[in-house]
Structure 1
Amino acid sequence: MKKGRCFELLTKALASTSTESTNSTAVENTELISRYPLIIDQHPYQISHEEKRGEEINHVSTSDSVLPDKVCDNTTTAATISSSCSSSTASDFDSDDSVFDKDYIPPQTKNKISVIDSDSDIDFIENSQQNNIRVSESPEREDFEPENQTDQASENVIQLTKKGSVRKRKHYDTSLRERTRAKKELKTNTKYCVKPGCGEECKKKCSSNISEIQRGIINKQFRNFTWREQYIYIINNTSQTIPARRTKKNPNSKVINRGKTITYFMLNENNEKVTVCKIFFLTTLGFEKKNDKVLRNALKQAQVQEITDMRGCNPNPKKIDNKPIIDHINSFHPAVSHYRRVHAPNRKYLPSELNIRDMYKDFCDKMGITEQSAPEDCVSYDHYRRVIKELNISFAKLGNEECEICEKYKLHNPDFKEIRHRNCTGCKEYELHHRRYIVARQKYDEDKSRQMSMQDQTSDTMYYSVDLEKVIMCPRLDEFKVAIFCPRLILFNESFVPLGDKKFRGARDTFACIWHEAIAGRKKDDIISCFRAFFLQYRDVKHITLWLDNCAAQNKNWGLFSYLLYLINSSDVNLETITLKYLEVGHTYMSADEFHHQVELSLKKKKRIYDFEDFHHAVSDTHRKITVKKMVVSDFCKFEDCSSSYKLQNMTPRVYLSNMCEVTFRREINTIAFRTDFDGIERELDFLRVKNIKIGIPRPAIKTQFRGVNKKRKSDIIDQLLSLMPENRRAFWRNLPVNDNSVDLINEYEEDVDK
Structure 2
Amino acid sequence: MEQQRNIIRMVQDLKANSVREITEANHLSPKRFPMEDLRSLTSLESDLRSCPETRQKEETDSGSEEDEMALKDEEFCPVQIRSQRTPKMGKPCGPTCGKKCTEKIPHVRRKEIFDAYQDMSHSDKWAFVFHSVTQSLKNRLTTGGPSRRKKTFQYHLNNRLRQPQDVCKTCYLTTFGYHPKNDSMIVSVTGNTSSAVPPPDRRGRHPPANKIDLSPIHKHIESFSPTVSHCKCEHAESRRYLSSNVTVMMMYKDFKGKSAKACSYETYRKAIRDMNIGFRKLHAEECKECLECDIHVKTEHL
Q: What TM-score comes out, normalization by structure 2 length? A: 0.52
Whether 1:592 and 2:296 are equivalent positions in the alignment is no
Cα deviation, residue 220, structure 1: 4.6
- Equivalent position of 1:194 in the other structure: 90
Quick check: 1:359 aligned with 2:251? yes
Correspondences of 1:568-647 after superposition (within 5 Å): 589-594=290-295
Whichever of the two has the greater Rg, that structure is 1
Match of 1:401 in 2: 284
Higher helix share: 2
Displacement of 1:332 after TM fit?
A: 1.6
Counterpart residue identity of residue 366, structure 1: K
Structure 2 residue ranges without an equivalent (≥5)? 1-72, 80-87
The amino acid across from 1:197 in the alignment is: C
Residue 27 of structure 2 corresponds to none
**Cα distance, 1:286–1:332 mapped onto 2, change above 3 Å:** closer
**What is the alpha-carbon root mean square deviation over aligned residues?**
4.4
Deviation at 1:256, TM superposition (A): 5.9
Q: State the one-letter code of the partner of 1:296.
A: V
**Per the alignment, do residues 308 and 337 of structure 1 end up closer, same or farther by CA in structure 2, a change over 3 Å counting?**
farther
Deviation sequence 1:231-255 (CA, Å, 0-9, x none): 3332343345x65x989xxxx9573
Secondary structure of the residue aligned to 1:264 is: strand
Per-residue deviation at 1:293? 1.3
What amino acid does structure 2 have at the position aligned with 1:231?
W
Residue in 2 aligned with 1:456? none
Report if the CA contact (8 A) 2:226-2:241 is conserved.
yes
- 113, 127, 130: which one pairs with 1:218? 113
Q: Name the residue aligned to 1:379.
A: 264
Q: Is the 8 A contact 1:194 1:216 kept in 2?
A: no
Q: Partner amino acid for 1:360?
A: Y
Conserved 8 A contact 1:348-1:393: yes
Deviations 1:626-645 (A, max 9, x none): xxxxxxxxxxxxxxxxxxxx
Instruction: Give, in angstroms, the shift of residue 588 of structure 1.
Output: 5.9
Counterpart of 1:283 in structure 2 is: 174
Judge conservation of contact 1:198–1:280 (CA < 8 Å) in 2: no
Q: Is structure 2 residue 142 aligned with structure 1 residue 257?
A: no
Cα 1:590–1:285 shift into 2, 3 Å: closer
Q: Secondary structure at the match of 2:90?
A: coil
Q: Is the 8 A contact 1:347 1:392 kept in 2?
A: yes
Q: Deviations over 1:436-492 (max 9, x none)?
A: xxxxxxxxxxxxxxxxxxxxxxxxxxxxxxxxxxxxxxxxxxxxxxxxxxxxxxxxx
Distance 2:220 2:90 in 1: 57
CA shift in 2, pair 1:300/1:338, >3 Å: farther
5+ residue gaps in structure 1? 1-184, 369-375, 404-548, 550-586, 599-622, 625-755
- 2:189 and 2:198 in contact (8 A); partners too: no
Q: 1:594 to 1:232 in 2, by over 3 A?
A: farther
* Residue equivalent to 2:241: 349
- Aligned residue number for residue 206 of structure 1: 101
In 1: Cα distance, 2:97 partner to 2:252 partner = 71
Change in Cα spacing, 1:301 to 1:232, as seen in structure 2 (3 Å) is farther
- Kindly provide the CA deviation profile for residues 151-193 of structure 1, in whole angstroms up to 9, marking residues without a partner as x: xxxxxxxxxxxxxxxxxxxxxxxxxxxxxxxxxx99x932143
Could you tell me how far 1:392 is from its partner in structure 2?
1.7
TM-score scaled by structure 1? 0.24
- Taking the TM superposition and a 5 Å limit, the aligned residue runs for 1:210-359 are 210-239=105-134, 255=148, 257-258=150-151, 262-300=153-191, 303=195, 309-311=201-203, 314-340=206-232, 343-359=235-251
In the TM superposition, what are the counterparts of 1:448-463 in structure 2 within 5 Å? none
